[in-house]
Chains A and B, each alone.
Chain A
Amino acid sequence: MAAPATGEPDELELIAYRLRRWVASPRPYLALVGIGLLLGFWYLTVDLLQLPRFAQMPGLPAVLHEFLSRNPDYGTSLFTADYYQDVWASLRRIAIGFALATVLGVPVGLMLGWSQRFREYVFPVFELLRPIPILAWVPLAIIMFAGSETPVVYLTFLGSFFVTALNTLLGVRSIDRRYLLAAACLGARPWSVFRHVIIPGALPFIFTGLEISIGIAWFSLVAAEMVSGQYGLGYLINTSYTQVEYPTIVIGMVTLGVVGYGTSVLVRAAGAALRRGHTRGG
């Protein structure tokens, strides 16, 4: 594997090299130990020792059995249709809410950062509404919007919108003044300054904002679904609690973790791809 003498080692080789180093390092084995301890503790306390405090809790084997069986006792497992219906319902709401929050949040954030007049009028109201916890909006959302779908999407949108707009604003304010002066010197008119300096300059902050925003979206979604949803993972967890189908609670939580992590990886990958297009080394 002759790496080109002076040039950068090519992409593939770099990955192979890093993989080899990762496998050689203790990290993967320590991670396995950690996970083993967690599952071991769970199995030990619930099933083996059957400690009083853990009596009600669903055991590891019970959850696994439920999750992997063809016809689960409580109707939800990898092979049942409505499991995927719940997953899809949550994902669809996240997609709509997150997309709306991005499409509205970024421009609002850019305007807040760029135009003095817009900021002085809009930002005070923005700061008044932001501290109100998303969940406090639930009753109002139910009243305001008919049906059960819109309130949940609205709540998912709300959390993400504030975070996206705020981070975009911070992004614009983070741009060093000398870049604005330099652009002015080179004869750029306001619109060119906005397009060539403000937007690219704020990009890194916008991406950090999106990564936080997807997390907040899931946070709001689960809460909304637990209180007022029809389908969705939050709804699944809450109903399986009320109907004393405890293993399904854990299934819902694990699914939330996996799907939630998946969406954050997607957002991070999109950010990295766009950023790589913009600043190779930056």
Chain B
Amino acid sequence: MSDSLQIRLVGWRVRLPRPRIDRARRRALVSFALLLLIWELGSTSASWLGTPLPVLGRIPSPTAVGTVWLHLLGQADYWGSWYQSCLRVLLGFTAALLVGVPFGLWLATNRLAHGICFPVFEMLRPIPPLAWVPAAIIFWPTQELSIASVIFLGAFYTIVTNVLGGARAIDARLIQSAQSLGASRWTVFRRIVFPAVLPSIFVGMEVGIGITWEVVVAAEMISGGGSGGASGGLGFFIWNSYVGGSYPQIIVGMLSIGIAGYLSSSAIRWAAPRVMRWR
């Protein structure tokens, strides 16, 4: 049946999936242009309207942000901030993955471990990761470690929850048929449970990496900004720009982190089908 199924409800057309690609792209461009236009007019309204608009009036205009960004592209410490933040995200996220997946699988397969650890896990989960920042600063010797520990926490909860969810959703018949074919517990785990949970691990990773970026920005702002350490990173870059009064750089920092976050989740989306060739 053709994909672009069209229903003509009485007097009103609903064209269902797969719109023509060119029209969609055209409309996206129109909306971006509109957004930039409103932003530009809004923020420069002070000059030709006399009084700045209440909210929009206070933020720097796209042209200002554009020029600053171009200038920054040549700066070493701009890319230094990128490097710092990406490094922290990578370390914290990988640690969360290496600890979270086995822990999740252990809870999923061992009833006793689940009985004891899961209630505690659930009890601590509502505490937002950022509430741990002060405690982490006290506990860990260096600034770096305390930020990394909070990042770890952010991603850890998401990964474990998804792994547990994935393990619980496995079709019992897959495990039963393996047993009926004489597979040992270890074979069942290695060749049935783990591959079956893999898709939810990837979902956990994609959501986890998003949260990691949220946390790294905050941790850098709170700890970096707070004690003035030269911890760097995009979060600190934004906070520093705010404190230093160069507002356009704030928006450059925001968009940069947005891009960094988008790139990391699309990297995971790109990797998933390669690892799970059967999808």
Contact = CB atoms under 8 A, between A and B. Distances in A.
Which of B16, B130, B234, B259 has most chain A Cβ within 10 Å?
B130
A278 B9 CA distance: 26
Interface stretch (A66-74, A75-83, A256-264): A256-264
A144 B55 contact: yes
A258 B124 CA distance: 9
B19 A116 contact: yes
Interface in A190-239: 190, 193, 215, 218-219, 221-223, 226-227, 233-234, 237-238
A237 B134 contact: yes
Contacts of B254: 132, 136-137, 140
Given A125-B32, A257-B127, A38 B134 contact: no
Interface residues on A, range: 35 or more
Interface string A129-156: 1011111111110111100000000000
Contacts, number: 190
A136 B12 contact: no
Contacts of A144: 55-56, 58-59
Interface string B107-140: 0000010011111100110111111111101110
Contacts of A177: 5, 16
B253 interface: yes
Interface string A151-194: 00000000000000000000000000100110010001110010
Contact of A189 (B10, B31, B129, B225): B10
Contacts of B259: 131
Contacts of B55: 144-145
A260 B259 CA distance: 30
Given A53-B139, A132-B257, A120 B24 contact: yes
Contacts of B262: 131
Nearest to A56: B138
Given A30-B112, A30-B115, A237 B27 contact: no
A31 B119 contact: yes
A116 B15 contact: yes
A237 B251 CA distance: 28
A26 B115 contact: yes
Given A125-B31, A132-B261, A260-B128, A238 B222 contact: yes
A34 B257 CA distance: 39
A3 interface: no
Given A136-B258, A181-B7, A190-B14, A120 B19 contact: yes
Contact of B255 (A116, A132, A135): A132
A133 B10 contact: no
Interface stretch (B75-83, B169-177, B187-195, B212-220): B212-220
A30 B114 CA distance: 9
Contacts of A17: none
17 contacts: A26-B115, A31-B116, A57-B138, A120-B28, A121-B30, A124-B28, A124-B32, A125-B32, A131-B258, A135-B235, A136-B253, A139-B242, A139-B247, A223-B218, A227-B221, A237-B134, A240-B134
Q: Top 3 nearest A-B pairs by Cβ distance? A: A30-B115, A139-B242, A241-B134
Given A133-B213, A139-B250, A226-B130, 6 more contacts: A131-B259, A144-B59, A219-B129, A222-B131, A223-B128, A254-B127
